[in-house]
Structure 1
Amino acid sequence: MRPRLLVSLLVWIGLAFPAVWLGAAAQSLLGEDKKMIAAVRQFYGQAGAQRTQAWRLLVHQAQTENLVERELLSRVNIFFNRLRFIDDIALWGKQDYWATPLEFLGVGGGDCEDFSVAKYVTLRELGIADEKLRLVYVKALTLNQFHMVVAYYPYPQAVPLILDNLEGSLRLASERHDLAPIYSFNGQHLWLMQEKGKGQLAGQSSRLSLWNDVRGRIDIERLQKPKMNLDH
């Protein structure tokens, strides 16, 4: 295991290790990342700051390695699936609230939309094209409840891989008989789903008010670093 990856994992689970070791890893972070971590520490405490630092180390490491997209998907899925599932009512006092990645990491948990938004934003930051990604609203048949996952299309007509907080490994949509797709969206478009395919184009994703809201708050959080354009 690479040292920086090991450090990020140790930070995540809160094990004790020499401060000089962690400091050496943290030196690889950009000043903007350090400001982000400091802001999370102020609002959510040290544990939230450590989770945020682990996220930024993950992104930095992935950006410096020549990784295939499948490996990026796997790392991001594993990283965020360590967080706890917490219902919006219990966490935010609202029936439906989509948290930003910093809010999600700060409190250490969230619901399926929060897992999916954090994965999508991170994969976009790592350079995966928007047209390859969808946030998919589904019916989780086993649980008999609505749910959200991320779908990755390596090419336009491919059966997508699914990133899901209910499932530890990446699996093809055709293997997920427990999920019934309803609609999907990304930074630009909204689709009504048809079976396991990409679905019928139904307009712009800006029609989704909760998606617009969380994207706006992500932009506000990142005013001090170059904005990641989720539209293109």
Structure 2
Amino acid sequence: MPIKPHKLRYGLAGAALSLAIVCCSVAFSAWDYDTFTRLAQQRYGASGAKTATEIQQLIVSSRNLVELEKLKRVNEYINRKFQFVDDTVLWKQVDYWATPLEMIGKSAGDCEDFAIIKYTALKDTGVSTDKLRLSYVKAKIGGPDSKISQAHMVLTYYAEPDAEPLILDNLITEIRPASRRPDLTPVFSFNHEGVFAGTGAKPSASIDRLSRWKDVLLRIQADGIDYKE
């Protein structure tokens, strides 16, 4: 599959650090599968409920696997199941962060939607979100020697805080260490703990500064994937 990084059409610093001051950070708790599947059926019919059930089965059947196998299974399923479609086509908006349930309804999403659904699914398989980050990168179009780059989001996995991250990408299904993705330049990353500068092991800012992330967390909760303050 040729690499075609999609366009996040807002400035990296401006969109990522738009202010929405809220007092507490958040962390995911377990999926409420009854609510999740019921909402999928109500909103998207039998096909939506079928996909919701498949994701539940994937998560439950992966819980006893070693972490690298969990990453592989979730990454391959999500990349195979959903199409990449730009927000301007899918949502008629410049940028929209979809919940996993909304992604199921569209059978598609753009790069941040792929990263979000992988993050939530892997958390429920038992992977600590301390090891997972949604990472903004600059992706070179046409290979590592290209002078043209676009904003892109991937999910990164750190086996240890200072380990080389593994890249879970909707563009390339093979999970590769960052050193084997010279086409990607890290900008910043985030998870429930905060915002990380580059590949730093400690957050440098609170997620209270990420308004889009806070907003999608609230909508994810309403869809049956709860979090605790």
Query: Counterpart in 2 of 1:19?
Result: none
Aligned to 1:8: none
Indicate if the aligned counterparts of 2:208 and 2:214 stay in contact, CA closer than 8 A. yes
TM, length-normalised to structure 1 = 0.77
Question: Which residue in 2 is equivalent to 1:128?
Answer: 127
Aligned partner of 1:206 in structure 2 is 208
Matched, 1:153 2:153: no
Alpha-carbon distance between aligned partners in 1 of 2:201 and 2:67, rounded to the nearest angstrom: 23
SS of 1:203 mapped into structure 2: coil
> Larger Rg: 1 or 2?
1
What does 1:33-72 align with in structure 2 at a 5 Å threshold? 33-63=33-63, 66-72=64-70
Query: Which one has a larger percent helix, Structure 1 or Structure 2?
Result: 1
Deviations 1:58-102 (A, max 9, x none): 112123xx2100000001100110210011111111111111111
TM-score by length of 2: 0.78
Spell out the pairing of 1:82-97 with structure 2 (5 A cutoff).
82=80, 83-97=82-96
Q: CA RMSD in A?
A: 1.9
Kindly state the Cα deviation for residue 149 of structure 1 after the two structures are TM-superposed: 0.3
Shift of 1:121: 0.8
**Letter paired with 1:202:** S
Question: Are the aligned partners of 2:35 and 2:223 in contact in 1 as well (CA < 8 Å)?
Answer: no
Contact 2:161 2:201 (8 Å CA) reproduced: no
Letter in 1 for 2:163: A
Who is 2:72 aligned against? 74
Q: How far does the alpha carbon of each residue in 1:169-214 deviate from its partner, in whole angstroms, 9 at most, with x for none?
A: 1100111001011110010110121xxx337743112211110010
Q: Given that residues 133 and 153 in structure 1 are in contact (C-alpha distance below 8 angstroms), is that contact kept between their aligned partners in structure 2?
A: yes
Q: Which amino acid aligns with 1:97?
A: Y
1:131-151 per-residue CA deviation (whole Å, 9 max, x = no partner) reads 111110011112621100011
Question: Could you tell me whether the CA contact under 8 Å between 1:52 and 1:106 is conserved in 2?
Answer: no
Larger relative contact order (CA 8 Å, sep ≥ 6): 2
Runs of 4+ in 1 over 3 A off after TM superposition: none
Structure 2 contact 196–205 (Cα < 8 Å) conserved: yes
Aligned amino acid, residue 148 of structure 1: M
3-state SS of paired residue (1:169): coil
Stretches of structure 2 lacking an aligned partner (at least 5 in a row): 1-31, 143-148
Matched, 1:179 2:184: yes
Q: 1:188 aligns with which of 184, 187, 193?
A: 193
C-alpha separation between the residues in 1 aligned to 2:201 and 2:180?
Answer: 18
Farther-moved stretch of structure 1 (41-50 vs 183-192): 41-50
CA contact (8 A) 1:112 1:149 kept: yes
Match of 2:223 among 197, 221, 224: 221
Alpha-carbon distance, 1:38 to partner: 2.7
CA shift, 1:48, in A, is: 2.0
Contiguous gaps of at least 5 residues in structure 1:
1-31
- More off after superposition, 109-118 vs 35-44: 35-44
Percent identity of paired positions between Structure 1 and Structure 2: 43
CA distance in 2, matches of 1:56, 1:43: 18
CA distance in 2, matches of 1:135, 1:209: 15
C-alpha contact 2:97 2:212 (8 A) present in aligned 1:
yes
